[in-house]
Chain A
Amino acid sequence: MIVGERKPLSEIMELLGGAQKVLVAGCGTCVTVCFAGGEKEVGILASELRMKSKLDDHAMDVEEATVQRQCEWEYIDPLRERLDGFDVVLSLACGIGVQAMNERFPGVITLPGINTTSLSLPVEQGVWEERCQACGDCLLGTTFGICPIARCSKQLLNGPCGGSQEGICEVDSDTPCAWQLIWDRAIEFDQVRRLLDIQAPKNWSQSRDGGLRKIVREDLQLESE
């Protein structure tokens, strides 16, 4: 899922500047599941903003709205009628939701209330760990289902660097070495041989290095009238 973390209140207050009327907009999908920007977090932030702005002597009028998905037109369109009179929308959706709001409702600025951090797996309650970088050219089929692009600090394709010690990455003592994990899986399946071929330089043009990525599926497009 897409995972995010709420920005600190001080940063949000600075972003909001002198706004008088703010709509805090949540999203009911990924950021709800990761407890960053669902209905509950919208309520908490809205309360914080009301209190903080009151303490700062410029009480803001803060309202709340959470839609099922901020990244699809059909879900955000119903917000149109609620936007009248608001100075800004503070979105607690991921970066896609924030931009969807700005594109759909260009007359009002939508600001980000969370930092979108990663495509992660909730490995245990309260812990999300990155698993995918959306590089556009999936190589999980050659690395026993463990992604070195997302999980190796140096994105190595030909085995571990010299900083792998007892299964741990040198960069962070809480991070397993991706190549140790890959190696262990190769041993488990008795397929070490598959790791011995040299992997050629990656085609990064499928990643963001190639510019804006866009998928066009003509078979799904609606015919123009």
Chain B
Amino acid sequence: MAEERTNGHKSGSNLEKVLRAGHFAITGELGPPQSADAEEVIHKARLLKGTAEAFNITDNQTAVVRLSSIGSAVLVIKEGLEPTVQMTCRDRNRLAIQSDLLGAYALGARNLLCLTGDHQSFGNHPTAKNVHDLDSIQMIRMVKNMRDEGIFECGDEIKGKVPRFFIGAAINPFADPFEFRAHRLAKKVEAGVDFVQTQLIYDMGRFRKFMEQVVNMGLHEKVYILAGVGPIKSIGAANYMKNYVPGMIVQDEWIEGLRAAITDIPKEDKDARREALRNQGIKACSEQIKELREIEGVAGVHIMAIEWEEAVRPIVEGAGLLPRPQVE
């Protein structure tokens, strides 16, 4: 296939360039609104600009209908940010996925995150029919074949411009069966993934164990692994994640850190307690990024601060990672 001005890069995206140049990369996340309000996307984009290489735009996250990932991605591009379009297998079959990805590429998207998708029973249309024509691994391979072989899933040649995405996926080192997790990453690598972002990490011990397995298998040399982090803004939120979010483990030290931040502040002073908790959330996240940087095989971090976009800049700054590198 023709390389069309990518200097040997697969997609030529900013995220790909930064990772290939060997920098510790940062990706962020932007959740579109449950409305057709472009201003909300633009507002969040402005808060996030300059804090990361690329920003995931969620695709009907938690199975709740939202402004589309691709539509939001176009708004984000206009603001000068680089989007990572998220695409789930839940809502689209192989025809719709390919068609929408041709559209996304034509509109300027260059990074893609291939996901199975949260089950619709968790969202606001629990009586919907789900699709799951493909799973995320099959989607990765399909998109890679579109890019590298110039063919659609059916084998037909793409006549004309080929979509050249930097292909991402999600991995959850905290779900079970634990021993299968690194093998599942290996399958994603074999399918053709370029980068992966992990589930939020609040159990560093288990994450280290997972990374040891990954490094032993040599997977870190075949795929860029971005460790998932996110600031916790309240004790309630930490407990909720610990107890109710499937596939998530929250160690007590996170909750203890938040508690310690407000021990000296009287209960009546709600604003001060709220502020102290938020500061602690941001500080803990920055510290965690520094720690993750030292783990072999970690190529960067993925910061998830949905509905708390303001936190991203101080987190990145606190981790000593501003300004972001410019790679030509």
How far is it, in angstroms, between the C-alpha of A154 and the C-alpha of B132 when the chains are bound? 6
Query: Closest B-chain residue to A159, C-beta based?
Result: B184
How far is it, in angstroms, between the C-alpha of A13 and the C-alpha of B28 when the chains are bound? 56
Query: Closest B-chain residue to A166, C-beta based?
Result: B176
Within 8 Å of chain A (Cβ to Cβ): is B246?
A: yes
A201 partner residues in chain B, CB cutoff 8 A: 94, 133-134, 138, 142, 153
| Minimum C-beta distance from B236 to chain A (A) | 21
**Given A166-B176, A201-B133, A154–B247 Cβ distance below 8 Å?**
no
| Minimum C-beta distance from A149 to chain B (A) | 10
From A153, A154, A158, A167, contact of B176 by CB (8 A): A167
Within 8 Å of chain B (Cβ to Cβ): is A135?
A: no
| Minimum C-beta distance from B142 to chain A (A) | 8
A159 and B180 contact, CB distance less than 8 A: yes
B116 and A154 contact, CB distance less than 8 A: yes
B206 partner residues in chain A, CB cutoff 8 A: none
A200 partner residues in chain B, CB cutoff 8 A: 138
Within 8 Å of chain A (Cβ to Cβ): is B121?
A: yes
Chain B contacts with A in 171-188, Cβ cutoff 8 A: 171-172, 175-177, 179-180, 183-184, 186-187
Query: Closest A-chain residue to B184, C-beta based?
Result: A159
A141-161 CB mask vs B (1 if < 8 Å, else 0) is 000000000000111111111
**Given A153-B119, A157-B138, A164-B175, A170–B184 Cβ distance below 8 Å?**
no
Within 8 Å of chain A (Cβ to Cβ): is B213?
A: no
How far is it, in angstroms, between the C-alpha of A198 and the C-alpha of B89 when the chains are bound? 17
A183 partner residues in chain B, CB cutoff 8 A: 177, 179-180
Within 8 Å of chain B (Cβ to Cβ): is A165?
A: yes
Within 8 Å of chain B (Cβ to Cβ): is A171?
A: yes
Interface size class of A (residues with CB under 8 A): 20 to 34
> Interface centre among B94, B135, B186, by most A CB within 10 Å?
B135
A157 partner residues in chain B, CB cutoff 8 A: 135, 138
Within 8 Å of chain A (Cβ to Cβ): is B141?
A: yes
The DSSP consensus for interface residues of chain A is loop
From B118, B180, B191, contact of A160 by CB (8 A): B180
| Minimum C-beta distance from B109 to chain A (A) | 23
How far is it, in angstroms, between the C-alpha of A88 and the C-alpha of B265 when the chains are bound? 74
B184 and A165 contact, CB distance less than 8 A: no
A171 and B187 contact, CB distance less than 8 A: no
B89 partner residues in chain A, CB cutoff 8 A: 154
A121 partner residues in chain B, CB cutoff 8 A: none
A155 and B187 contact, CB distance less than 8 A: no
| Minimum C-beta distance from B149 to chain A (A) | 15
Within 8 Å of chain B (Cβ to Cβ): is A195?
A: yes
B186 and A196 contact, CB distance less than 8 A: yes
How far is it, in angstroms, between the C-alpha of A154 and the C-alpha of B190 when the chains are bound? 22
A177 and B132 contact, CB distance less than 8 A: no
Within 8 Å of chain A (Cβ to Cβ): is B25?
A: no
B175 and A156 contact, CB distance less than 8 A: no
How far is it, in angstroms, between the C-alpha of A183 and the C-alpha of B132 when the chains are bound? 21
How far is it, in angstroms, between the C-alpha of A146 and the C-alpha of B162 when the chains are bound? 39
B175 and A158 contact, CB distance less than 8 A: no
How far is it, in angstroms, between the C-alpha of A196 and the C-alpha of B191 when the chains are bound? 11
| Minimum C-beta distance from B325 to chain A (A) | 30
B180 partner residues in chain A, CB cutoff 8 A: 159-160, 179, 183, 195
A170 partner residues in chain B, CB cutoff 8 A: 119, 246-247
Within 8 Å of chain B (Cβ to Cβ): is A136?
A: no
B183 and A163 contact, CB distance less than 8 A: no
Binding site for B on A (CB under 8 A): 153-167, 170-171, 177, 179-180, 183-184, 192, 195-196, 198-202, 204
Q: A183-B180, A201-B134 are in contact. List 11 more A-B contacts (CB 8 A).
A: A158-B137, A160-B175, A160-B176, A160-B177, A162-B247, A163-B119, A164-B247, A166-B176, A179-B177, A180-B176, A198-B190
